[in-house]
Structure 1
Amino acid sequence: MAFLSLLRRNFAFAKLAIVSNLEYRLNYFVDAILQPTLTTCIEMLLWYAVFKSAATTEIAGFSKEYYLAYALWGAFFARICTSWMYEYRMIQEIDSGSINSLLTRPMTFYEYYFSQLMGYKVITTACSMMVPLLAVLIFDLPTKFSRLPLAFALEFYYLILVHSISFVIASCAFYLNKVYAFTGAKNLALWLFTGELFPLDLMPEPMKTIVITLPFSAGVYVPVGYLTGRLGVGSVMNSFVSISIALILVNALGLWMWRKGVHIYAGTGA
């Protein structure tokens, strides 16, 4: 009964996120369709320019079509694994004191925002999916569609880690002011370490091996590389293991910071 109650509660949170985002339809259209389309076009044009200026047919053993496919799917997966919007809300709850009302409810702060994040990502991903699918068909880019389920499974598993990191950053608001700066720094770091900026195998050794081994490569590089045929299933399995280890460490840190923070918290807001 307790488990069913947990499922119903979290489903309600996810539904809340979907309804609230669909309420502002123009904003949702920009976020789910227009922005991904513009981002994809810019990324693909950049790689077109790189190959044209280099006057070569291959870079690091891969053709222009592979890099265009990487840019296309990379922009798509990068949008899935971001959580700065909900991270800002979590920080604001603590900063403003409105967290007081959440602390008295039969739920945890973590699950309240995690379920909303997942609900928002599922509905947005379903709409945004049209952009890379159409581009792949129009430009005939290398994509192994049979690999999509495992790539999505890895991506949404990584999203749990992203939310856990956001929870740790939000917990810093118990102790520090101007925590929003941490969000900006984290986003810039992940822009590089996930492989969104460029494929990680273009890095020099030993940095390449280190960065690919980190769980952050599961955000873009590994699922996109697997989907486009750049990587095998072994890389995906290694990412699942890496994320699992990171989840244990990050959630242990987050739980410790949260419990200590709540004890010293003296919010006087809403």
Structure 2
Amino acid sequence: MNWRLAALKNGFKDYTAYRVEFLMEILGNAIVPAAIQWVLWYAIFKTDGATELAGMTYVQMLHYTLVSVLFNQVRGGDQDFELAEMIRTGQLSNYLIRPVGLIQFIYIRGVASKLLISALSLAIGIVLSVSVLSSEASPLRMIGAMLLALLGNVIHFQIGAVLSAMAFRWEDAYGLLMVKNMAVSILSGELLPLNLFPESMSWIWKSTPFYLYVFGPAQYALGEWTHLEFVRQLGVAFLWIFVLWVLIRFTWGLGIKKYVSLGG
């Protein structure tokens, strides 16, 4: 069997071995942020009496919350932390002698659960698009949005892989990866719609690929992006993937030359 298929199969087995925990993790990642956002929107629109916020009504905010929760489930996991830990502890040596691409192997094994979750999220999203969301939403838009979210998953891992290579020099890249995750939480649209940023500060999130994880897919799914804009953003995503692929080869190529398997 091709090692990539074997890695994917093993990833599915690992994440579904404890089904209750797996389900609770999914529900927790969905319910908690959705509840926080709903309380915030209720306080702004119902308690304070606001009619619009950054051009969005109460209903539009709720719709954003619904779809953003779906795409947030697809956002990258913690494979980059695994890579950094392998470098720090010396476990990387066990993989260097195997006939597999290490970074590909770690990603494929880790993305298995996200593929399952993305399928479930897509099914829910399609139902929402024909029953709850605005008339601009559609199953076709939801499928395209999920594709963009999956590309965001790839980008998220690639950025983590580049940063984890710092462990070759610093021994531990944990702090750097945590900072990256905090930035992603703010700049991906996971917590709040990015159009709440002041116009003078919008360049911050536009200059990173993080908005492709949640905000971008949500915008397309809700009909806020035209099809042409969606295609343009797909091009942006593929460009980021290519640039980060080059950076991975460069940083890991240098790192392997300095690697000494001494353990943590």
TM-score for the superposition, normalised by structure 1: 0.87
Instruction: Confirm or deny that 1:256 pairs with 2:250.
Output: yes
Q: Are 2:62 and 1:68 aligned?
A: yes
Equivalent in the alignment of 2:108: 115
User: Against the structure 1 CA distance between its residues 203 and 38, is the aligned structure 2 distance closer, same or farther, given a 3 Å change threshold?
Assistant: closer
Matches within 5 A, 1:145-224: 145-209=139-203, 211-212=205-206, 214-224=208-218
Deviations 1:99-123 (A, max 9, x none): 1110001111111012113212011
In 1, distance between residues paired with 2:185 and 2:33? 14
Mean CA deviation greater in 93-102 or 196-205:
196-205
Which ranges in structure 1 are unaligned for 5 or more consecutive residues? Answer: none
Would the aligned equivalents of 1:193 and 1:216 in 2 still touch at CA under 8 Å?
yes
The answer to whether 1:103 aligns with 2:96 is yes
| From 6, 28, 50, the counterpart of 1:56 | 50
Q: TM-score, normalised by structure 2?
A: 0.89
Amino acid of the structure 1 residue aligned with 2:66: L
Aligned in 2, Cα 1:129/1:31: closer, same or farther, shift over 3 Å?
farther
> What is residue 243 of structure 1 aligned with on the other side?
237
Residue ranges of structure 2 left out of the alignment (5+ in a row): none
**3-state SS of paired residue (1:175):** helix
Amino acid at match of 1:243: A
Q: How far off its partner does 1:212 sit?
A: 3.2
- TM superposition shift of 1:229: 1.9
CA distance in 1, matches of 2:25, 2:121: 9
| Secondary structure of the corresponding residue to residue 199 of structure 2 | coil
Alpha-carbon deviation of 1:225? 1.0
Name the residue aligned to 2:80: 87
**Corresponding letter in the other structure for 2:96:** L
SS at match of 2:95: helix
Structure 2 contact 30–69 (Cα < 8 Å) conserved: yes
- Paired amino acid for 2:230: V
Q: Quote the offset at 1:262 in angstroms.
A: 0.8
* Partner residue, 1:27: 21
Counterpart of 1:39 (choices 14, 33, 36) is: 33
Distance 1:101 1:178, change over 3 A: closer
Q: Cα offset for 1:95?
A: 1.0
CA displacement at 1:21 relative to structure 2: 0.8
User: Which range moves more in the overlay, 195-204 or 183-192?
Assistant: 195-204
In the alignment, which of 117, 127, 134 is matched to residue 124 of structure 1? 117
Change (3 A) 1:130 1:37: farther
Following TM superposition, by how much is the alpha carbon of 1:269 offset from its aligned partner in structure 2, in angstroms? 4.2
Contact 1:14 1:120 in 2 (8 A): no
| Cα distance, 1:266 vs structure 2 | 0.8
* Count of residue pairs the alignment pairs up: 262
